[in-house]
């Protein structure tokens, strides 16, 4: 009997010990669960937050890419600075981020007194759900995009008339780029050995003559022309087709009140896609004097012309389609004649 009692007592002690351990285990499980749930909650919250930065990045990219088409901008031209900032803000808003301020738009890379780069910062406070347990109510996330100008080295829509690199360099050096007179259809005195060159170029090398030339003058050449391309000189002065083509282009402007008796596109305000703006090749003469070598491209805004081979217009700095070298504006002057490509640079 004594033995039985002792055994019973031992069993009870054992029981208590087991209960005790079970209690400890429960506490450990409970604590682990809270810890695991906490980590899980953080992972879910952070995951959702970072997933949402894709939208932020898209909005920043869209803003720099759309507003960047207004580059380059004179650093002192506050109206244009406001305009490009407003444009970036409105594109970010269209992409779901309506809270940008002018301080989120940063213009930079000044070259020759002009901004050639735009940065847009898109910030966002993402509310936390589970992480609130740890006292984290919001997570501030920032995304940015940068677009810069780079001189165009390949583009479409080029006109079959241009000017020499020598002349363009001299105009840039003396800042003689507005309301200038260019002549065409008049024998160029420069290439003495090329008496049949009147400034017209055969862009496809097929010798298509006046009908091709007329289309290229009016609409631009549909194919791509690149720096380094060798173009044939068109024989014949082409005064008639050039004059008619430029008249058509001038009349086709539909911007800035052109349709209601206004001036249309001028150097003060212009739409880069306007037919009044002609993309012209800047070239040097080939060794054989029958060809020219493309050195770059310029944009020329038609202002006036006479029917005997003189046109007046202004060179513009603007963005166009095409490919660029990736070089910054002003970094090496080769091939930089004011026509640029806009590229995302970060």
For Zn ion, the closer CB: 83 or 235: 83
Position 255 contacts Zn ion (CB under 5 A): yes
Position 274 contacts Zn ion (CB under 5 A): yes
d(CA 273, CA 294): 22
Piece of the chain touching Zn ion by CB under 5 A; list 169-177, 230-238, 250-258, 278-286: 250-258
Tell me how long the chain is: 346
For Zn ion, the closer CB: 274 or 329: 274
How many residues bind to Zn ion according to rule CB under 5 A?
5
For the record, the structure tokens of 304 come out as 């006036």
Piece of the chain touching Zn ion by CB under 5 A; list 21-29, 40-48, 188-196, 249-257: 249-257
Piece of the chain touching Zn ion by CB under 5 A; list 9-17, 156-164, 177-185, 273-281: 273-281
Burial of 166 per CB tally in 10 Å (0-12, 13-18, 19+): middle
Least Å from the CB of residue 275 to Zn ion: 7
Position 265 contacts Zn ion (CB under 5 A): yes
Q: Which of residues 111-130 bind Zn ion (CB under 5 A)?
A: none
For Zn ion, the closer CB: 161 or 274: 274
- Chain CA centroid to CA 267, Å: 21
Decide: 89 and 82 in contact? Cβ < 8 Å. Answer: no
Least Å from the CB of residue 175 to Zn ion: 24
For the record, the structure tokens of 172 come out as 């840039």
Position 253 contacts Zn ion (CB under 5 A): yes
Decide: 263 and 204 in contact? Cβ < 8 Å. Answer: no
Least Å from the CB of residue 162 to Zn ion: 21
Question: Looking at beta carbons, which residue is closest to Zn ion?
Answer: 274
Give strand pairing partners of 140: 125
Q: Which residues contact 122 (CB under 8 A, 6 or more apart)?
A: 56, 57, 59, 60, 63, 92, 97, 100, 104, 142, 143, 144
Contact residues: Zn ion, CB under 5 A: 253, 255, 265, 271, 274
């Amino acid at each position: 009997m004594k033995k039985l009692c002792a055994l019973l007592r031992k069993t009870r002690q054992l029981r208590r010990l087991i209960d005790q351990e079970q209690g400890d285990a429960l506490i450990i499980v409970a604590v682990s669960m809270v810890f695991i749930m906490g980590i899980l909650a953080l992972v879910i919250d952070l995951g959702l937050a970072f997933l949402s930065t894709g939208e932020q990045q898209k909005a920043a990219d869209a803003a720099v890419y759309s507003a960047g088409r207004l580059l380059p901008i004179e650093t002192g031209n506050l109206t244009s600075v406001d305009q490009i900032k407003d444009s970036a803000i409105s594109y970010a808003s269209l992409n779901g981020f309506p809270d940008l301020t002018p301080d989120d738009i940063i213009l930079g890379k000044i070259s020759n007194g002009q901004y050639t780069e735009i940065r847009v910062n898109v910030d966002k406070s993402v509310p936390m759900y589970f992480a609130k347990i740890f006292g984290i109510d919001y997570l501030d996330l920032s995304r940015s995009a940068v677009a810069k100008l780079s001189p165009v080295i390949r583009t479409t829509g080029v006109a079959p008339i241009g000017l020499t690199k020598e002349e363009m360099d001299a105009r840039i050096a003396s800042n003689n780029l507005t309301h200038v007179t260019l002549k065409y259809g008049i024998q160029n005195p420069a290439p003495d050995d090329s008496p049949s060159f009147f400034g017209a170029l055969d862009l496809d090398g097929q010798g298509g003559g006046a009908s091709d030339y007329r289309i290229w003058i009016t609409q631009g050449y549909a194919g791509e022309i690149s720096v380094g391309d060798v173009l044939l000189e068109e024989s014949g002065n082409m005064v008639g087709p050039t004059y008619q083509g430029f008249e058509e282009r001038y009349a086709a402007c539909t911007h800035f009140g052109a349709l209601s008796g206004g001036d249309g596109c001028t150097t003060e305000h212009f739409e880069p896609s306007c037919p009044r703006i002609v993309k012209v090749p800047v070239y040097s003469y080939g060794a054989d004097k029958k060809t020219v070598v493309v050195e770059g491209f310029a944009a020329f805004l038609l202002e006036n012309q006479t029917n005997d081979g003189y046109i007046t217009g202004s060179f513009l700095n603007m963005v166009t389609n095409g490919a660029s070298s990736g070089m910054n504006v002003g970094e090496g002057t080769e091939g930089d004649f004011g026509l640029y490509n806009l590229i995302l640079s970060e």
